[in-house]
Structure 1
Amino acid sequence: MSQKHPVVAVTGSSGAGTTFVKRAFENIFLREGINPEIVEGDSLHSLSRKDFGSHLKIASENGNNHFSHFGPEANDFAAIEETFRSYGATGTGKKRYYLHSPSEAEMQNKRLGCYKESGEFTPWEDIKPGTDLLFYEGLHGLVVDKATDINAPRYVDLGVGVVPSVNLEWIQKIHRDHAERGYDEEVIVDTILRRMPDYVNYIAPQFSQTDINFQRVPTVDTSNPFIARDIPTADESFVVIRFKDPNKFMIDFPYLLNMLHDSFMTRRNTIVIPGGKMGMAMEIILAPIIHRLINNARCS
Structure 2
Amino acid sequence: MSRRSNSGALPLVAVLFGVYALSFVGPAAQQRKGTALRAGGESVPTGLVWPSPEAEEKLREVDGIKLYPTHAWKDEMDPIVDASAKLEDTPVIVGVAADSGCGKSTFLRRILGALGTEVKPGHTAIGDMMTVICLDDYHTNDRAGRKATGLTALDARENDFALMGAQIEALKTGKAVYKPIYNHDTGNKDPPELIEPNKVMVFEGLHPIYDEKARSQLDLAIYIDIVNDVKFAWKVQRDVAERGWTEEQVREDIEKRLPDFSKYVDPQKANADVVLRYEPSDKGLPFLKVKLIQKKGGKFPMVTLKKDLSLSGSEPGATLKMYDDDWFGNDVTVVEMDGEIDMDNMEEQLKEVESNLEGLGAKSAEELTEAMVSLKSSPGSQNGTGLLQTVIAMKVREIYEKITGKDA
Normalising by structure 1, report the TM-score: 0.71
Structure 1 residue ranges without an equivalent (≥5): 60-66, 102-117, 145-149, 223-231
The partner residue of 1:164 within 212, 217, 226 is: 226
Q: Is the Cα–Cα contact under 8 Å of residues 163 and 215 in structure 1 kept in the other structure?
A: yes
Is the counterpart of residue 141 in structure 1 residue 208 in structure 2? yes
* Structure 1 residue aligned with 2:50: none
Structure 2: distance between partners of 1:290 and 1:41: 22
Distance in 2 separating the partners of 1:86 and 1:256: 44
Offset of residue 184 of structure 1: 5.0
Partner in structure 2 of residue 35 of structure 1: 129
Query: Shift of the alpha carbon at 1:79?
Result: 2.9
| Distance in 2 separating the partners of 1:30 and 1:257 | 31
Q: Is 2:189 the counterpart of 1:121?
A: yes
Q: Shift of the alpha carbon at 1:31?
A: 5.0
2:109 to 23, 44, 51: 23
User: Which one is further off, 276-285 or 18-27?
Assistant: 18-27
Any residues of structure 2 matched to 1:46-125 within 5 Å, and which? 46-55=140-149, 59=150, 67-101=151-185, 118-125=186-193
Q: Structure 1, residues 141-194: CA drift from partner, whole Å, max 9, x if none?
A: 1113xxxxx542111111111111122223333443444445554444333333
Q: Tell me if 1:245 matches 2:331.
A: no
Partner of 1:285: 392
Map of 2:404 onto structure 1: 297
Tell me if structure 1 keeps the 8 A contact 2:301–2:395: no
Assess, with a 3 A threshold, how the Cα gap between structure 1 residues 249 and 206 changes in structure 2: closer, same or farther.
Answer: closer
Indicate if the aligned counterparts of 2:229 and 2:280 stay in contact, CA closer than 8 A.
no
CA apart distance, 1:49: 2.5
Is the contact between residue 93 and residue 126 of structure 1 (CA under 8 Å) also seen in structure 2? yes
Q: Which residue of 1 aligns with 2:96?
A: 10
CA distance in 1, matches of 2:232, 2:115: 31
Question: What residue in structure 2 maps to residue 147 of structure 1?
Answer: none
Counterpart CA distance in 1 for 2:148 and 2:242 is: 23
Rounded Cα–Cα distance in structure 2 between residues aligned with 1:20 and 1:256 = 28
| Contact 2:305-2:322 at 8 Å conserved across structures | no
CA apart distance, 1:91: 4.8
What is the percent sequence identity of the aligned residues? 23
Rounded Cα–Cα distance in structure 2 between residues aligned with 1:119 and 1:189: 24
Distance 1:26 1:14 in 2: 20
Structure number with the bigger relative contact order (C-alpha 8 A, sep ≥ 6) is 1
Cα distance 1:152–1:210, how it changes in 2: closer, same or farther (>3 A)?
same
Match of 2:338 among 254, 274, 282: 274
Cα separation, 1, equivalents of 2:279 and 2:112 = 24
- Aligned twin of 1:191: 253
Cα deviation for residue 16 of structure 1 reads: 7.7
**Does the Cα contact within 8 Å between 2:95 and 2:218 map onto a contact in 1?**
yes
| Higher deviation after alignment, 28-37 or 119-128 | 28-37
- For residues 141 and 256 of structure 1, the distance between their equivalents in structure 2, rounded to whole angstroms, comes to 35
Q: Residues of 2 paired with 1:100 and 1:288: CA distance?
A: 31
Distance 1:38 1:16, change over 3 A: closer
Tell me if structure 2 keeps the 8 A contact 1:165–1:216.
Answer: yes
Counterpart amino acid of residue 280 in structure 2: P
Contact 2:138 2:164 in 1 (8 A): yes
Tell me if the contact between 1:18 and 1:137 (Cα under 8 Å) persists in the aligned partners: no
**CA separation of 1:53/1:26 partners in 2, compared to 1, >3 Å: closer, same or farther?**
farther
Q: Secondary structure of the residue that 2:181 maps to in structure 1? A: coil
What is residue 45 of structure 1 aligned with on the other side? 139
Q: Separation in 2 of the partners of 1:82 and 1:36?
A: 20
1:42 to 1:213, Cα distance in 2 relative to 1, 3 A: same
Instruction: Name the amino acid aligned to 1:162.
Output: I
Structure 1 residue 262 displacement after superposition = 3.2
Structure having the higher Rg: 2
CA contact 1:10–1:18 (8 Å) conserved in 2? no
CA RMSD of aligned residues (A): 3.3
Shift of 1:295: 4.8
- Size of the aligned set, in residue pairs, is 253
Local SS of the residue matching 1:265 = strand
- Alpha carbons of structure 1 residues 26 and 97: separation in structure 2 relative to 1, 3 Å: farther
More helix per residue: 1
Q: Return 155-164 or 264-273, whichever deviates more.
A: 264-273
Q: Indicate if the aligned counterparts of 1:262 and 1:274 stay in contact, CA closer than 8 A.
A: yes
